[in-house]
């Protein structure tokens, strides 16, 4: 059984992951649509920047966030002074860092789903008088729903396991920014706390497997639907 402190860590991890996915999902859909449907100058560079978190050390992402969005950073100071918004050393900062690290996985899954849609279906709707927004809302999004859910679940699993960018940007503050990976790391540094680290590791593994299994189920369901259609 989990203690009250461990349940708090689990709840914070879920909250951070849900907010990270929910905040980044609209941007991921927009970026995936641009990459799948449009050709424009700098597309290769745009694609590379989106996927940069996959190849950069997470600590680098966290350091850049700290420099930009810290209280003394050019963006962080402005947000704090004019809007009272603070990301550094807050759970919201953990959500932002997790969103950035999971963003490429989400974009890739949605982009593949959009690329698989037959453009003739959208063209037919436009010839019948539907506006671009109506086509996107009533045809493109429903057909890409499987990829959107898959991308969201993959990003959610990645957010649950995010460590490097989070600890660099928001530190490891119990009750405020200490998510599951940070709590496991903290337990490994304390003599005799190995059972706590093991228990939290089992929770993290179970959550990640559940998210990945749901993602695989959504992928198979989408493929079956495409074959039947």
Using 50, 70 and 90 to split pLDDT, how confident is the model at 228? low
Mean pLDDT of the chain: 91
The pLDDT of residue 94 is 96
Token pair 């490891």 is at which residue? 172
Tell me what the mean pLDDT of segment 112-117 comes to. Answer: 90
Using 50, 70 and 90 to split pLDDT, how confident is the model at 165? very high
Please compute Rg for the chain using Cα positions.
20
In a domain, 46, yes or no: no
In a domain, 44, yes or no: no
CATH number at residue 110: 1.10.3720.10
Using 50, 70 and 90 to split pLDDT, how confident is the model at 222? low
Q: Looking at the predicted structure, is the pLDDT value of residue 179 above 60?
A: yes
In a domain, 47, yes or no: no
The pLDDT of residue 118 is 86
Cβ atoms of residues 92 and 76 within 8 Å: no
Tell me what the mean pLDDT of segment 162-181 comes to. Answer: 94
Tell me what the mean pLDDT of segment 107-116 comes to. Answer: 93
More confident site: 67 or 220: 67
| CA–CA gap between residue 113 and residue 221 (Å, rounded) | 13
In a domain, 87, yes or no: yes
Cβ atoms of residues 158 and 145 within 8 Å: no
Helix (H) or strand (E) holding 219: helix 194-228
| Number of domains into which the chain is organized | 1
In a domain, 143, yes or no: yes
Domain that holds residue 13: 4-37+53-228
Using 50, 70 and 90 to split pLDDT, how confident is the model at 220? confident
In a domain, 42, yes or no: no
Using 50, 70 and 90 to split pLDDT, how confident is the model at 212? confident
Which of these ranges, 2-11, 128-137, 194-203, 214-223, has the smallest mean pLDDT? 214-223
Tell me what the mean pLDDT of segment 190-215 comes to. Answer: 90
Global pTM?
0.91
Query: What DSSP letter does each residue of 63-124 carry, written as one string?
Result: HHHHHHHSTTSHHHHHHHHHH----TTSHHHHHHHHHHHHHHHHHHHHHHHHHTS-HHHHHH
In a domain, 224, yes or no: yes
In a domain, 204, yes or no: yes
């Amino acid at each position: 059984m989990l203690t009250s402190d461990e349940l708090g860590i689990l709840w914070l991890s879920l909250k951070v992951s849900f907010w990270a996915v929910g905040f980044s999902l609209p941007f991921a859909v927009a970026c995936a649509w641009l990459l799948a449907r449009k050709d424009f100058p700098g597309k290769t560079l745009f694609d590379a920047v989106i996927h940069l978190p996959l190849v950069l050390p997470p600590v680098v992402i966290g350091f850049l966030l700290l420099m930009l969005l810290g209280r003394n950073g050019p963006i962080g100071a402005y947000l704090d002074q004019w809007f009272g918004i603070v990301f550094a050393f807050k759970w919201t900062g953990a959500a932002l860092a997790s969103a950035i690290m999971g963003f490429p996985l989400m974009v890739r899954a949605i982009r593949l789903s959009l690329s698989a849609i037959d453009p003739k279906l959208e063209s037919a709707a436009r010839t019948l008088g539907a506006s671009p927004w109506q086509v996107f809302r009533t045809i493109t999004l429903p057909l890409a729903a499987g990829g959107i859910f898959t991308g969201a679940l993959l990003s959610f699993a990645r957010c649950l396991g995010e460590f490097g960018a989070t600890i660099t940007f928001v530190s490891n503050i119990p009750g405020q920014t200490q998510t599951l990976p940070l709590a496991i790391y903290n337990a490994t540094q304390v003599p005799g706390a190995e059972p706590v680290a093991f228990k939290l590791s089992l929770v993290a593994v179970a959550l990640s497997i559940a998210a990945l299994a749901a993602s695989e189920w959504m992928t198979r369901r989408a493929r079956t639907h495409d074959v039947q259609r």
